[in-house]
Structure 1
Amino acid sequence: MKKFGLATQIFVALVLGIVVGAVFYGNKTAISYITPIGDIFIHLIKMIVVPIVISALIVAVAGVGDMKKLGKLGGKTILYFEIITTIAILMGLLAANIFQPGTGVDMSNLQQSDISSYKQTADATEKKGFAETIVHIVPKNVFESIAQGDLLPIIFFSVLFGLGVAAIGGKGKPVFNFFEGVLEAMFWVTNQVMKFAPFGVFALIAVTVAKFGVATLLPLGKLVLAVYVTVILFVVIVLGINARMVGVNIFTLIKILKEELILSFTTASSEAVLPNIMRKMEEFGCPKAVASFVIPTGYTFNLTGSAIYQALAALFVAQMYGVHMSLTEQITLLFVLMLTSKGMAGVPGASFVVVLATLGSMGLPLEGIALIAGIDRILDMIRSSVNVLGNALAAIVMSKWEGEFDNEKAKQYVETVKETKAA
């Protein structure tokens, strides 16, 4: 398989997974044999995320050093994330009103999935007020947050610890070097994990198709189409204009991140490519401190692909049950989504949990989300890819905003990529 690049290997694995899944549709024995392969790959991905986020943020914050400068960067980053995420939610709501994906859906033809585990998390989220969400950011036990993969408290602790390393001057240098070493070591570990990616992709796709079948797509085809079209328009129009404003072509960025986008698409996980996009954005001209701060933070605050899906899914359920939502109710839905989507990073089935919590808050039938569980992986594939692209672009935007982007380095990197392809 060494003759082929990772992107080609993953594409072949995707096709084989669909074929094998279709052949063994409904075969529980085959599913039980294939499932562990996909589970191992997902576990490997989750294993690398927390050490990378912690070490990257500590290195980034300690590298900036100046608390005032870090505060400005943090403020600008969060402001950018909120603006771009709000636009994504608005596009999702607009698309739901134009496409009307839930109108005319025959619920008797849909397979209902078990969502009890997601519902428990959603109930807990729904009960949380704004104040509780803020309190949750501060960890009472950082090791508990690390064990649970709860990114918001982890980010808070890492930033604070990074400031501490910077504040103690020379005494903090060994600590800085240690975490820099951890980060480099985790990049190496990630490269080894990626060698297993084609097998993981094959298993994940095969199990999904074997469980739900290709026929599951047909009744919900309108929703799938609405999500994919909206996401593509968001990339071309919103991210495209955004990229152009900072002197970058969005399609050039897509070419640079080709392997990462394919991997995140096929695995339905943006976490798998976190180290690679940090490394590539640094090679593209972003300062290490900015890329190491913005990208991991974006994994909590800048999930635009997920935001589009959540808005569409909420209105889809309302339309499916014949519930008309007025403009005022949809504006309320916008604010509810902005609140519930924060702090969901690291939660299994995060987008599902957000939609469930949102439906509960808006008084919409929770059973509706169980009917689209079968196609969740298909929808998760596109939203994960956009999350990756959006966070890579955010690093460039923040680097430009800070006046620290290396344009010459970017040109050289693009030329290197072109030469590599030509060879």
Structure 2
Amino acid sequence: MEDPNATAAPPGSGDGPERRRRLSMPPLGVQVLVALVVGAVLGFAAPSFSEHLKIVGDGFIRLIEMSIVPLIFPLIVVSIARLESVRAVGRLAVKALLYFEIVTTVILIVTLFVAFATGIGRGANLHSLAPANTDNIQRSMDLPSLFLNIIPENVFAALGEGDLLAILFFAVFLGLALTKIGDKAKPVITVLDGIADAMFQVIAWVVRLTPLAVVSFVAYNTAHYGWDLVLKLVMFVAVFYGAAIVVLVVLFPIIAAIFRVPYVPMLRAVADLLLLSFLTRSAEVVLAPLIRRLDGFGVDRTVSSFSLPLGYSFNADGATMYEALAVVFLAHAYGVELTIPQLLTMLLVLMLLTKGIAGVPSAAIVVLFSASAVIGLPAEGVAILLAVDFVVDMARTGLNVAGNSLATLVIAKSEGLFRRPKEEVTA
């Protein structure tokens, strides 16, 4: 007999086929690990076939990119519109940018210490390696133009091109305007909320293709690049991964302890997304799921929807580490002794160039070209490092995502908008 006092389950939460299907599927992290093994085996066993799998991975990335702007724009507008005042928006932005600048500067200093302590690059015979083709890569950056381009000439063009910084700039202004018009803003906010929810659903469908995408990425990289070049530059790759681990397991926990946020539980909550960003070398792939995951972890949506997109542009911890390590590696390899003034100049240049470059193609390489030119290093060395960029980029991307997840927790905690639920949500 049915219990007459039983509460009806909400739609989609019962024992229907969809519920049973979700329960029977292994977690995303397990699926990705299996896909990693399958892709590696396929890449070694059938390299000719694996070369053609790149289109599958590229298609997956395009599906994600297709959904990012229609999701991020309404999320930012609504999160700003729901803050109590313009002053609250300014406070949130200032806290975020100040945190980003301090943490990336500390990472630069830690990386330089690791680079000089290990003597990375000394004795490296770069002349025996063939440089990659860099004809289509920008060699320098025009800082005034870079910052001016944050202001879109045409909002619709910025939306069409997926220019994240320009979209963020306009979305903040639109959100502020909605806070000022009162009740008239409610229909607009409702529509934008609905669009964001719909895009979350679209991305949830796309994410189901993740294992297939990982197989294609790993198989293609294994078949196309091989590991000969990686072995020749193994010192650079090993020190970079070692420095990344130091930041992940030493520096980030110290920051979390200072601000009293649960770092290890957060890592557990987003571990599969970190792994996915690592394997696909794309932070955008996990942006939407990361917002949902941090929401479930206790971060208020107004913070996660604002801080994460801002962090993707201004808080590239992994890229910052890469630039510093690569410059010292090349200086040592070419016998250039870096003086204190040169080091300070390089530190200042990297502090500036690693901010707001989300819309620049091959941004990390462009910054490296620019920083190397400042202290007189040959461009051929940068081109040689491109040979292992696909391996380094995995850790670089994963560290960027971890750093922005921690930043979002810290900013939410400082605003009193982080309330971790009793049961950790990882769905």
How does the TM-score come out when normalised to structure 2? 0.90
Match of 1:403 in 2: 416
**1:10 partnered with 2:23:** no
* Residues paired across the two proteins, number: 405
Q: Deviations over 1:45-99 (max 9, x none)?
A: 2222222221221111111141011111111111011101111122222222122
The 1:350/1:413 distance shift into structure 2, 3 A limit, reads: farther
Match of 2:258 in 1: 245
The 1:207/1:109 distance shift into structure 2, 3 A limit, reads: farther
CA distance in 1: counterparts of 2:338 and 2:418, whole angstroms:
45
**1:135 partnered with 2:118:** no
Match of 2:56 in 1: 37
Match of 1:188 in 2: 201
**1:82 partnered with 2:101:** yes
CA distance in 2: counterparts of 1:32 and 1:382, whole angstroms:
23
Cα distance, 1:31 vs. partner? 5.1
Cα distance, 1:111 vs. partner? 4.1
SS in 2 for 1:238: helix
Match of 2:14 in 1: none
CA contact (8 A) 1:151 1:343 kept: no
CA distance in 2: counterparts of 1:277 and 1:164, whole angstroms:
27
Match of 1:105 in 2: 124
Letter in 2 for 1:405: F
Q: Deviations over 1:281-332 (max 9, x none)?
A: 2222221111111111100011111111111112222222222211221111
CA contact (8 A) 2:269 2:297 kept: no
Match of 1:413 in 2: 423
- Listed as ranges, the matches of 1:135-214 within 5 Å are 135-214=148-227
Match of 1:320 in 2: 333
Q: Which moved more, 1:181-190 or 1:44-53?
A: 44-53
Cα distance, 1:259 vs. partner? 1.2
Letter in 2 for 1:105: A
CA distance in 1: counterparts of 2:242 and 2:118, whole angstroms:
10
The 1:378/1:249 distance shift into structure 2, 3 A limit, reads: same
**1:51 partnered with 2:70:** yes
The 1:362/1:210 distance shift into structure 2, 3 A limit, reads: same
CA contact (8 A) 1:109 1:219 kept: no
SS in 2 for 1:198: helix
CA distance in 2: counterparts of 1:280 and 1:20, whole angstroms:
32
SS in 2 for 1:138: coil
CA distance in 2: counterparts of 1:65 and 1:116, whole angstroms:
50
Q: Deviations over 1:371-405 (max 9, x none)?
A: 12222121111121111111111111111111232
Letter in 1 for 2:201: W
Match of 1:296 in 2: 309
CA RMSD of aligned residues (A): 1.9
Cα distance, 1:24 vs. partner? 4.4
CA contact (8 A) 2:308 2:404 kept: yes
Q: Which moved more, 1:228-237 or 1:208-217?
A: 208-217
CA distance in 1: counterparts of 2:65 and 2:347, whole angstroms:
30
Cα distance, 1:411 vs. partner? 4.5
SS in 2 for 1:117: coil
Cα distance, 1:367 vs. partner? 1.3
CA distance in 2: counterparts of 1:100 and 1:43, whole angstroms:
40
Letter in 1 for 2:119: Q
Match of 2:385 in 1: 372
CA distance in 1: counterparts of 2:327 and 2:299, whole angstroms:
37
CA contact (8 A) 1:65 1:167 kept: no
- Listed as ranges, the matches of 1:354-393 within 5 Å are 354-393=367-406
CA distance in 2: counterparts of 1:43 and 1:213, whole angstroms:
25
Cα distance, 1:159 vs. partner? 0.4
Cα distance, 1:273 vs. partner? 0.9
SS in 1 for 2:360: coil
**1:23 partnered with 2:45:** yes
Match of 2:323 in 1: 310
Structure 2: gaps of 5 or more residues? 1-20
Q: Which moved more, 1:101-110 or 1:260-269?
A: 101-110
Q: Which moved more, 1:142-151 or 1:365-374?
A: 142-151
Letter in 1 for 2:33: F
Picking from 219, 229, 243, the partner of 1:216 is 229
SS in 1 for 2:177: helix
The 1:135/1:218 distance shift into structure 2, 3 A limit, reads: same
The structure whose Rg is larger is 2
SS in 1 for 2:416: coil
Structure 1: gaps of 5 or more residues? none
How does the TM-score come out when normalised to structure 1? 0.91
Cα distance, 1:223 vs. partner? 0.9
